Amino acid sequence: MSSLHVCPALLISAPASGQGKTTITSGIARLFARRGLRVSVFKYGPDFIDPYWLELASGGAVYQLDMWMTGEQDCSQRLFEAAGQSDLILIEGAMGLFDGSPSAAKLAQHFRVPVVAVVDASAMAGTFGAIAHGLKTYASDMPWAGVFANRVASPGHAQMLSTALNDQADWLGSIERKSEITIPERHLGLVISDELTDAQARLDTLADLLETTPLGQMPKDALQKWNVEFSDPAVQDHTPALLQGKVIAIARDEAFCFIYAANIDALKKLGAEIVFFSPLHDACLPQCDALWLPGGYPELHLEALAANKGMLDSVKAAIEAQTPIWAECGGMMVLFDEIQTVDGNSHAVWGVIKGKVRMQKKLGGLGPQFMETSVGPLRGHTFHYSVCDSEIPATRTTIKHSQLSGLSAGESIYEVGSVQASYFHAWFASNLRASAALFLKSEQ
């Protein structure tokens, strides 16, 4: 195998959140994929929702890249492998280009991936040029591809924006605001593509619009001006088969849908057999040795979750049998006695953890964290719009990671019998031994 793979690559970023990064990245992926190009798409930073759209657009699995949570070596390995089998790599950034620690800009600089800045220009004229110039030159060594204007009012408006640029070569095009390509939002981000019957049609309409832009009109050979060399990190795989022979049941449906593809891969590398089940629709758990309740939107499906008595009885029987259960965020929330929605109404749920979860309109937690274990830290993050009042004390907490403020106490971890539960979302590949321990009985 070659120690170097070369492939065109772009980081799609913006000056802030809400500029339309996911929309434009999905549209570019859909446009080139339907032309027959092999497009690999990544999402920078912790994110469960955007990848649904990126996967639908590209037709392939979308993995996360993060210079802290997944680590430089993991990023290098994934990009190297993608470059060896792709005609184009797209990386959707997080928040603004220089936001976060480490920011998407750090990834662009480290791997020399050219940046495309998406700017919501709906209320702009000449300032569009200033923003583009600032993003391009704020860091002296920033690899740069150009700027794309989103949500413009008219062709005349687009012309005004393009002439505001110091360098006309930076202009990659624009699209107008249209309801048929707008992706709906809610409290945790965009609505997941699976929930919209016209999701594919939206992406095709978006691709049609992008096809008229300078970026969209580029043939395959022209993309090579953005070629990036990705080196083989030559990582030796010494993954221990700690979960060999174990069957792990994973909740996956409309209520529990925050599952990293990399986490599934990690469990399989550890030797586990994976089975999926639906707490909403299935009558009971499948036969399994351990259980994972991932995050999602239990607050949107409270009546159905409470009504499925067979599933509740099956989960409680698994706990009585000392079946290891790892429950994170939404998976933890459903284990409480009740969930109170933002309108103040309380709904009974599974009653494993004594206490109440209260939904709120503001963030309850956000940012990178890690969980200390006997075999080292397990990295991950937190992102939730609820808080919980537990009648049982937390056994420990995760630790917030911040390059600015240092380390501090993070999310509570609750333990009830064989259950471990927290708002913390774990990135299993960051510590395979620690991840395996979540699904093994304590005496092992």
Other CB atoms within a 10 A radius of the CB of residue 321 amount to 9
Query: In this structure, which amino acid lies at residue 106?
Result: K
Q: Is 85 helix (H, G, I), strand (E, B) or coil?
A: coil
The whole-angstrom separation of Cα 419 and Cα 46 is 24
Name the nearest CA neighbour of 272 among 82, 40, 437.
Answer: 437
The sign of the CA dihedral 67, 435, 380, 300 is positive
Distance of alpha carbon 261 from alpha carbon 34, whole angstroms: 23
329 is catalytic: yes
3-state helix, strand, coil in the chain (%, to 5): 30, 30, 40
Distance between CA 59 and CA 215 in Å, rounded? 20
Among candidate residues 75, 288, 329, 388, the one labeled active-site is 329
Strand 290-293 and strand 247-251: the pairing is parallel
Q: How far apart are CA 400 and CA 413, in angstroms?
A: 13
- Rounded CA separation 18/310 (Å): 41
> According to DSSP H, which parts of 124-251 are helical?
127-137, 155-163, 199-210
Q: Would you give the end-to-end CA distance of the chain in angstroms?
A: 39
- Six-digit token string for 117: 């800045």
- Catalytically active residues are 329
